[in-house]
């Protein structure tokens, strides 16, 4: 899909960076936003440009609704539109629930769930006008089971909220030619999890191995393709059987 514009939050690192590089290699116009990883964001931007694509890197705290409006305005005023929104930003930490702090709890909720709403509100008007759009967010491979999670409680609640919000937005925006879907990764070697957490985890994964960023990129490619034009409100699990 040439001449498409993608806004990718958290695009400086990990899975979101992999998506940004892949779209850039396909000659998309790619805007990545970051909160603290300026050097990584600039490297990603340069890599996209070196591959012949166009990119911009913008600092933005996407948990701030006012900042989100400014971010979307900047991209739309530069490139005229936003066709695709990838909600890739979102911190993660493991801490026992009874040791969780108010600040840590708020960080998990406000930075994983709130931006999905704020960004949808900001990009939807333009997508509706053009009667086209794709929005993809990220859950967790076992989030639909609603299991007890003593060490990742706030993060898990936020990701469950992402899936619910995805379904709601999908229903609201389908009449305007906009699809809204979630991808729920299992264990992916993306650099976000400490090595100690991944050690020996293969025995708990039915497929027998830890996934790669390329596995998520392939799922994104499908959801952005014309072949997926009738797929909306889905929660696509990419975890080698883990979490089901």
> What pLDDT, in 10s, does the model give residues 135-148?
999 999 999 999 99
- At 188 the pLDDT is 93
Domain ranges of the chain: 5-238
pTM, entire model: 0.95
Higher pLDDT, 12 or 192: 12
pLDDT digits (tens, 9 = 90+) for 177-234: 999 999 999 999 987 766 667 778 899 999 999 999 999 999 999 999 999 999 999 9
For residue 233, count other CB atoms closer than 10 A to its CB.
17
Q: Which residue has the higher pLDDT, 36 or 169?
A: 169
Q: Residue 28 and residue 217: Cα distance in Å, rounded?
A: 15
Pick the CATH number of 5-238 from 3.40.50.1100, 3.30.465.10, 3.40.50.720, 3.20.20.140: 3.40.50.720
pLDDT at 200: 82
**pLDDT tens track for 28-77:** 999 999 998 889 999 999 999 998 889 999 999 999 999 999 999 999 99
φ/ψ bin of 185: left (φ > 0), alpha (ψ from -120 to 50), beta (otherwise): beta
Asked whether the predicted pLDDT for residue 92 surpasses 90, the reply is no
């Amino acid at each position: 899909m040439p001449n498409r514009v993608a806004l990718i939050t958290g695009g400086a690192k990990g899975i979101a960076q992999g998506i940004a590089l892949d779209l850039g290699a396909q000659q998309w116009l790619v805007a990545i936003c970051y909160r603290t990883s300026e050097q990584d964001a600039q490297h990603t931007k340069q890599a996209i440009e070196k591959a012949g694509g166009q990119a911009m890197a913008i600092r933005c705290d996407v948990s701030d609704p006012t900042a989100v409006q400014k971010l979307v305005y900047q991209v739309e005023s530069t490139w005229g539109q936003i066709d695709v929104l990838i909600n890739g930003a979102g911190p993660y930490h493991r801490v026992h629930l009874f040791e969780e702090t108010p600040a840590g709890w708020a960080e998990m909720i406000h930075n994983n769930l709130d931006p999905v709403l704020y960004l949808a509100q900001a990009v939807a008007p333009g997508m509706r006008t053009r009667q086209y759009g794709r929005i993809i967010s990220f859950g967790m491979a076992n989030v639909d089971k609603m299991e007890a999670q003593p060490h990742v409680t706030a993060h898990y609640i936020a990701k469950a909220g992402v899936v619910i919000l995805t379904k709601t937005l999908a229903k609201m925006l389908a009449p305007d030619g906009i699809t809204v879907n979630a991808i729920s990764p299992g264990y992916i070697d993306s650099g976000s999890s400490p090595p100690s957490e991944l050690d020996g985890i293969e025995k708990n994964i039915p497929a027998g191995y830890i996934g790669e960023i390329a596995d998520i990129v392939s799922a994104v490619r499908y959801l952005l393709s014309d072949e997926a034009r009738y797929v909306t409100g889905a929660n696509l699990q990419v975890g080698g059987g883990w979490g089901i």
